[in-house]
Amino acid sequence: MSKSTGGFGFGRGSGTVPVIELKVQRSSARNARLAFIITMVIVGLLAATVASDHMHPILAVLLAAPIAAVSGALIWALVRIWPVLRLLWWWSLEITAGIGLIYGWIALANATPALITFAVLAVLLGIPAAVPPIRRRVVALAWCVIVRHRLRVCFSQFIIANRSGSLPLILWARPTPVGERVWVYLRPGLSLSRLQPRLDEIAVTCHATSVLIELASETRKAAYLRFDIKRREVLTAKVTSSLPGLIVTDDIPVPDTTSMTLPTALDLPDVPAEPTPLAMATKASSANGKKPAKTAAAAESFDEDDLWD
C-alpha cells in the first residue's frame, strides 16, 4: 500500500510513500497463496468425504469444490490483509479518539446552541488542564501511546526482525510510577538475549532514562516480553521519621562505672587450680634456698626466652 504525494511549488513530487513496506507485501502475498491452497485442499477433502456418505462421490466432489473455494478465499483474504490489520492495531487508539472527537463534536453542536457547546468544550478541556492529578493521569496515558510508536520505530529501524520484515506485535501499555510498561509479542528471529544489548538504544528512542526487558510471565512463552520504560526517579525524596522522638531517654538507667573494680584474673571456682612448672620451681627454690634446675616441662615452656637468667 502506498499513497502519492504531489509538489507544492517547490519542485517535483517525491513519488510514493509506502505505508506498508514492499518486503512485507511480498511476504504477505506469498503466505496468502500458500494458505489458500492448503485450506482449499483440506476443506475440499473433508467436505467430499462427509458428502460421499449421503450422495454419489461425483456429486460429493462437485458440492465440496465451492465449499473449499469459499473457505480458501476467506483464509487468503485474512492473511493478505493482516499487515493492514496490524497497522490499524498500531493506530487504533488514535483512530478511536479521532472518530469519537469528530462525532462527539458534531452531535454536541447539533443538539445545543453555540454558547453551550463552547462552554462544554471549555469544561472538558479546562478541568484536565487545571486539576494536577487529572493532568498527570492524562499525560501518563499520552506517554503510553507515544511509547508504543517509539518501540515500533526501534524494531523497524535498528532491530532486525526476520527475513520477511514482519515486526513484533506491540500489544498494550499502561503507566507506572516511573514510566510505562509495554507488553510485546515477538516474531521468529528475535529473542530476549538479542534485545538485551540494545537497551541503551531503545531508551534513547523512547526518550527514557533506562529500559528493562524481561519475560512477561514464567509460565508463558519466551516470545511474550514486558518492557519497563523508566523516565523518572521516585525514590529521591528524603523521608523523615518520628521514631527517634518517641524514645524517652530520662527513664533509661545509666550504670555507674566509677566504683567498679576491674578484674585481674578469671574466677573459675569449678575448675581446680593446677600448679604450673614455673610455680613448682619457684616453690622448690624458696624451700632450699638454691637455684633449682630446669625441668623438662619448664624447658619446653620457656625454650625461646630463658627466664632463669
Kindly report, residue by residue over 113-163, the tens digit of the pLDDT.
888 888 888 888 888 888 889 999 999 999 999 999 999 888 888 876 566
- Per residue in 18-44, pLDDT (tens digit) is 566 677 778 888 888 999 999 999 999
Model confidence at 230: pLDDT above 90: yes
- Average pLDDT estimate for 292-300: 52
pLDDT-based confidence at residue 179 (cuts at 50, 70, 90)? very high
Residues 30 and 58 in one domain: yes
- Average pLDDT estimate for 227-256: 75
Q: Where are the beta strands (DSSP E) in 123-217?
A: 169-175, 179-185, 210-215
Residues 71 and 104 in one domain: no
Q: What is the pTM of this model?
A: 0.60
Residues 170 and 145 in one domain: yes
Whole domain around residue 55: which residue ranges? 18-87
- Per residue in 82-116, pLDDT (tens digit) is 888 888 888 888 899 899 989 988 888 888 888 88
Q: Where are the beta strands (DSSP E) in 138-205?
A: 169-175, 179-185
Q: What are phi and psi of 246, to 5 degrees?
A: -85, -10
Which set of grid coordinates corresponds to residue 10? 517547490
Single out the residue in 186, 209, 234 at which a domain terminates: 234
Residues 190 and 137 in one domain: yes
Query: Is there a domain that residue 260 lies in?
Result: no
Query: Is there a domain that residue 40 lies in?
Result: yes
Residues 99 and 148 in one domain: no
